[in-house]
Amino acid sequence: MSSDARPSSRRIEVEKDLIARMLSPFKPACRYLESATLTVSEEPQVKGSAAWVLRGAFAIPESCYINDTGHLNSIEFNICSNQLLQVALAQALESRLAPELSDLTLEELVSEQRPETVIRELNSVFKRVINARRFEGEVTVDGPLRRGSPFEVGAHFWDANDGFAEGAFTVVLHQRSRPTS
């Protein structure tokens, strides 16, 4: 393979039912993610390359907390990033892409995503205003994922009018205390 060849990857269209299931903890007016596709690198990762990229289409008809600004803001950046991450984790579990999380079932992820998934740090930078009515975004997740260990997630959002924002967040999937028999 030549040095300029692209690594091979696999695309997985996320089922609407899985998206709905992962967005169920969000209030109905805050379920912004409409569709998503997970791209998985099929080759060993090199530092700086993403293991998974989940790209999604969003619509925010009305802000859930402030009078309409018409543009994506930092609160909604956080909500949309979180929705993409939750769906990426769910699709990774469904597709058996995260062997290091083999002790976690999809049912546990759905029921535990609020108390068990903790965003420790988040930053976002808005380069150009993004129309909140219709836009796209993606998160990049670099592996390996280990419960109890922080991992980094990159986020980018854009619209058809060159709106653009980017950021990153640090996430920890906490170990669940399981009752002993």
The pLDDT tens digits for 46-63 are 454 457 899 999 999 988
Model pLDDT for residues 8-29, shown as the tens digit of each residue: 788 999 999 999 999 998 999 9
16: its two tokens: 């609407």
3-state helix/strand/coil string of the chain: CCCCCCCCEEEEECCHHHHHHHHCCCCHHHCCEEEEEEEEECCCCCCCCCCEEEEEEECCCCCCCCCCCCECCHHHHHHHHHHHHHHHHHHHHHCCCCHHHCCCCHHHHHHHHHHHEEEEEEEEEEEECCECCCEEEEEEECCCCCCCCCEEEEEEEECCCCCEEEEEEEEEECCCCCCCC
- Homologous superfamily (CATH) for 9-173: Rv0098, thioesterase-like hot dog domain (3.10.129.30)
Model confidence at 7, pLDDT cuts 50, 70, 90, reads low
Q: What is the pLDDT of residue 100?
A: 79
Q: State pTM to two decimals.
A: 0.86
In sequence order, the β-bridge partners of residue 177 are none
Instruction: Pick 116 or 88 by higher pLDDT.
Output: 88
User: What's the sign of the alpha-carbon dihedral 108, 109, 112, 117?
Assistant: positive
Q: How confident is the model at residue 42 (pLDDT cuts 50, 70, 90)?
A: low
Q: Per residue in 96-129, pLDDT tens?
A: 888 878 888 888 877 765 566 778 889 999 999 9
**Model pLDDT, residue 8:** 74
